[in-house]
Structure 1
């Protein structure tokens, strides 16, 4: 199933999650958590991922991307989390 997403919006959400989210690190990578979303990047920063419990969005070089999700409802819930992150402010 092909999905269209505003890739610039996804990148802004990724930035906010990594800036304001809680960082959890292990020996190989750092994962940031905010409003139910997880954000991580590969070692060189060319691939980033946003995910929740059911959906994963991978964004590659030149703004190509892939989604992995079980059903449309899970995708809608995932995209609703984007709005939650956009509204989030750390006070």
Structure 2
């Protein structure tokens, strides 16, 4: 999987989803959803979560991130969704 995303990009997309999305409550608590991506923040604010139903990406302290993508196709689709939100909003 290509490392084509960084912490600043993820935080920018998170803010756009938070601003333009619809409020939701899920297993992680209060969050927002926009165009198939749901975001939540950790209880201490040091982690943010992105989820599209197939892939979950966690951005943690010092901009380190990891993902549950099972293959490159899922990951690429997820990144495409993030890029679309970034460009559109």
Work out the CA distance in 2 between the residues paired with 1:63 and 1:71.
Answer: 22
Q: Which runs of 5+ in 2 are unaligned?
A: none
Q: State the TM-score, normalized to the length of structure 2.
A: 0.86
Q: How many corresponding residue pairs?
A: 88
Q: State the TM-score, normalized to the length of structure 1.
A: 0.84
Query: Which of 1 and 2 has higher RCO (CA within 8 Å, sep 6+)?
Result: 2
User: What do the CA deviations read for 1:22-78 (whole angstroms, capped 9, x no partner)?
Assistant: 00136x711210011110011111110111111111011111111111111110110
Consecutive aligned runs of 4 or more in structure 1 exceeding 6 Å deviation: none
RMSD: 1.9
Q: Which runs of 5+ in 1 are unaligned?
A: none
